[in-house]
């Protein structure tokens, strides 16, 4: 059992969580004390650090994380919520005593309900009423109160919030209607909550940073070079297969409509970056937390049966072994967890290869050739994520060359993170069989026998997939 513990600890190190090193706003500190002592969270475990503060964050995979998840599962069952993608967002909102979240960074209080107009809705308000709304500065009810004197209020609000013109609504029933049909119905694509769901990592089930500060702290949302080009860092970090340029271009079309493009098979689990997405709101995407539903797995299997490559080569070994075993949502979550762990193993093996100065060997697994094309889509429909046709344009320029450099840099930077884990092989997979195979691989690389080395690498991933199968 000891071995498993070491393993989890290393995983935690990997996730790079250093919450207690962050500066907590005084209001946030007060909030954590209020929440942990509230009877609604009775039985949900937490510890205190040496500074006496609540250890607010645990990783989902750690022992405490598993315990917390069990507690949330129990609450779902008690409240008649089916355990599936998005269930933790529902239960976290239901149990929250005040429905008000305090931002860890700035201390601002924001509602956890779907009451804030999103970017698209703010634009619509500007168009219809000529007013500018600062995001998350006021909720939909406050905005309507301020516009009360406006003659065409009902008509305009109906247009903005996509309410049928046939609905019989008066000034006195407008807010009730919005509450019942939009706020309580999670008006996805129109309104957003003040914090994103994040169970069971955070004690209250929400990201510590409110929507007010999320853009500053969330690395993935930083307006980095990559994002400016509409690219998704995770694609490179996870060495994902697929026409990433075409997928990136399609993804930025979703972004323009303030809708997240959801990979049916998450990249961080080893799936391809394909130009095929489900349109979802950012909140939904965040609630999913890289876990697949049974339906997601079925969609992937259907696409695969139709001849599409859905999974990256490195993760195909485990996918092929386990995909047939999924028969319900619970299995799909289990498969997600197994594949996530396997993705870590893959990157560890890559980091060992890189460390031996064999990055040239690894470069063959990065798909730089896609950099030299661009795409235009015709008749894109943000509601379904579909388009009528597309045009491929060749782009042989210097920008594209630089893009390849950036792509390589991000991919190899990720491997660097893995080097920091001490004694990688013993602590993580703990399999002499895998170790023996890796020891065969390194001399092959040294002798520049790249084809044989590739076969050995395949063997290594097959062995890891076998271990996963035996643990299923």
* Residues at the interface with Zn ion (CB under 5 A): 103, 105-106, 108, 210, 212-213
> What length is written for the chain?
472
CA distances from 89 to 76, 104, 112, 113, 189 (A): 10, 19, 10, 11, 16
**Residue among 270, 269, 218, 276 at smallest CA distance from 244:** 276
- Output 106 or 147, the one with its CB closest to Zn ion: 106
- E strand map for 189-258: 191-192
- Output 195 or 247, the one with its CB closest to Zn ion: 195
Minimum distance of Zn ion from residue 202's CB (angstroms): 15
| Inter-residue contact 241 to 312 (CB < 8 Å) | yes
Enumerate the H helices of 59-116 as residue ranges. Answer: 63-78, 87-95
Minimum distance of Zn ion from residue 391's CB (angstroms): 42
Q: At what angle do helices 313-322 and 450-471 cross, to 10 degrees?
A: 30
- Output 140 or 212, the one with its CB closest to Zn ion: 212
**Residue among 271, 249, 154, 136 at smallest CA distance from 191:** 136
Minimum distance of Zn ion from residue 443's CB (angstroms): 53
Q: Half-sphere exposure of residue 237, counting CA atoms within 13 Å on the CB side?
A: 15
Minimum distance of Zn ion from residue 24's CB (angstroms): 12
Minimum distance of Zn ion from residue 453's CB (angstroms): 49
| Inter-residue contact 191 to 179 (CB < 8 Å) | no
- Output 62 or 111, the one with its CB closest to Zn ion: 111
- Output 102 or 161, the one with its CB closest to Zn ion: 102
- Output 103 or 160, the one with its CB closest to Zn ion: 103
How far is it, in rounded angstroms, from Cα 241 to Cα 365?
Answer: 8
Output the residue with the shortest Cβ distance to Zn ion. 103
Tokens of 34: 């209020």
Coil, helix or strand at residue 53: coil
Minimum distance of Zn ion from residue 92's CB (angstroms): 19
DSSP state of 138: S
How far is it, in rounded angstroms, from Cα 411 to Cα 268?
Answer: 13
Minimum distance of Zn ion from residue 194's CB (angstroms): 9
- Between vectors from CA 358 to CA 356 and to CA 363, what angle results, nearest 5°? 145
Minimum distance of Zn ion from residue 191's CB (angstroms): 19
- Output 105 or 457, the one with its CB closest to Zn ion: 105
How far is it, in rounded angstroms, from Cα 278 to Cα 291?
Answer: 14
């Amino acid at each position: 059992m000891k071995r498993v513990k070491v393993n989890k600890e290393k995983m935690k190190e990997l996730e790079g969580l250093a919450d207690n090193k962050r500066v907590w706003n005084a209001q946030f500190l007060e909030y954590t004390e209020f929440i942990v002592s509230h009877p609604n969270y009775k039985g949900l475990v937490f510890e205190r650090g040496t500074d006496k503060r609540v250890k607010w964050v645990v990783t989902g995979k750690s022992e405490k994380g598993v315990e917390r998840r069990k507690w949330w599962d129990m609450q779902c069952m008690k409240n008649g919520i089916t355990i599936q993608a998005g269930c933790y967002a529902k239960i976290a909102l239901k149990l929250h005593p005040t429905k008000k979240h305090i931002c860890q960074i700035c201390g601002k209080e924001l509602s956890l309900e779907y009451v804030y107009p999103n970017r698209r809705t703010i634009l619509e308000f500007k168009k219809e009423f000529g007013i500018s709304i600062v995001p998350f500065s006021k909720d939909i009810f406050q905005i309507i109160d301020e516009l009360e004197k406006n003659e065409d209020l009902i008509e305009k609000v109906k247009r903005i919030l996509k309410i049928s013109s046939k609905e019989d609504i008066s000034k006195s029933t407008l807010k009730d209607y919005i509450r019942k049909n939009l706020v309580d119905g999670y008006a996805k694509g129109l309104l957003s909550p003040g914090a994103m769901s994040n169970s069971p990592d955070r004690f209250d089930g929400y990201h510590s940073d409110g929507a007010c500060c999320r853009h500053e702290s969330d690395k993935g949302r930083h307006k980095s070079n990559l994002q400016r080009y509409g690219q998704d860092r995770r694609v490179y970090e996870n060495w994902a297969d697929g026409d990433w340029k075409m997928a990136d271009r399609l993804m930025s079309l979703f972004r323009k409509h303030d809708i997240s493009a959801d990979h049916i098979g998450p990249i961080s689990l080893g799936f391809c970056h394909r130009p095929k997405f489900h349109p979802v709101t950012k909140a939904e995407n965040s609630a999913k937390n890289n876990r697949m539903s049974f339906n997601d797995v079925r969609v992937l299997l259907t696409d695969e049966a139709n001849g599409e490559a859905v999974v990256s080569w490195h993760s195909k070994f485990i996918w092929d072994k386990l995909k047939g075993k999924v028969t319900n949502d619970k299995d799909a979550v289990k498969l997600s967890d197994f594949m996530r762990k396997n993705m870590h193993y893959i990157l560890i093996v890559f980091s060992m290869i890189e460390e031996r100065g064999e990055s040239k060997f690894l470069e063959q697994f990065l798909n730089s050739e896609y950099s030299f094309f661009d795409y235009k889509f015709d008749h894109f429909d943000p509601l379904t994520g579909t388009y009528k046709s597309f045009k491929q344009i060749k782009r042989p320029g210097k920008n594209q060359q630089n893009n390849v450099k950036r792509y390589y840099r991000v991919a190899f930077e990720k491997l660097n993170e893995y080097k920091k884990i001490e004694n990688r092989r013993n602590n993580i997979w703990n399999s002499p069989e895998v170790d023996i195979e890796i020891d065969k691989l390194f001399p092959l690389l040294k002798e520049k026998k790249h084809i044989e080395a590739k076969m050995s690498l395949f063997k290594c991933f097959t062995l890891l997939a076998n271990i996963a199968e035996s643990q299923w």
